């Protein structure tokens, strides 16, 4: 069974800093990986979906990378802003093309003005 780990559990940075959030997984035979953002008391908002054939995916100030061989994905946030404060979650299909997603427990990001 796929296991997903996100370290650190919490991160606090000053505004304007570039930062990297980490996601590691145990089974490198993944279909794709999805990054979500969750604001307090809210649902999950999809940020980026990176397919197994891709190395990177970009959306605005966000860049997700995928290294299947090392079982890692990173979410890079450029020029962080207080509005980026949220919990960031990564999710991977349980196996192959399974529709069952396995989630990490998330990294809670605080960007201080």
Partner 1 sequence: NAGVTQTPKFQVLKTGQSMTLQCAQDMNHEYMSWYRQDPGMGLRLIHYSVGAGITDQGEVPNGYNVSRSTTEDFPLRLLSAAPSQTSVYFCASKGTGRAEAFFGQGTRLTVV
C-alpha dihedral over 6, 11, 16, 19, to 10 degrees?
-30
CB of 102 to partner 1, least distance (A): 8
Q: Which of 26, 28, 51, 70 binds partner 1 (CB under 8 A)?
A: 51
Q: Contact with partner 1 (CB under 8 A): which of 2, 32, 63, 74?
A: 32
- Interacting stretch for partner 1, rule CB under 8 A, among 14-22, 35-43, 61-69, 70-78? 35-43
Strands 107-112 and 10-14: parallel
Number of residues binding to partner 1, judged by CB under 8 A: 23
C-alpha distances in angstroms, 53 versus 33, 35, 57, 65, 93?
A: 11, 16, 11, 11, 15
β partners of residue 59: 62
Residues of this chain that interact with partner 1 (CB under 8 A) are 31-32, 34, 36, 41-46, 49, 51-52, 89, 91, 97, 99-101, 103-106
């Amino acid at each position: 069974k796929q296991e997903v780990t996100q370290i650190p559990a919490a991160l606090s940075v000053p505004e304007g800093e570039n930062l990297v959030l980490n996601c590691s997984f145990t089974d490198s035979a993944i279909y794709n990986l999805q990054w979500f953002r969750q604001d307090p008391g809210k649902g999950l908002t999809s940020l980026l979906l990176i397919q197994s054939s891709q190395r990177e995916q970009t959306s605005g100030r966000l860049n997700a990378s995928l290294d299947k061989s090392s079982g890692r994905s990173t979410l890079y946030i450029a020029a962080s802003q207080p509005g980026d404060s949220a919990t960031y979650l990564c999710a991977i299909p349980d196996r192959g093309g399974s529709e069952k997603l396995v989630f990490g427990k998330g990294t809670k990001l605080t960007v201080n003005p």
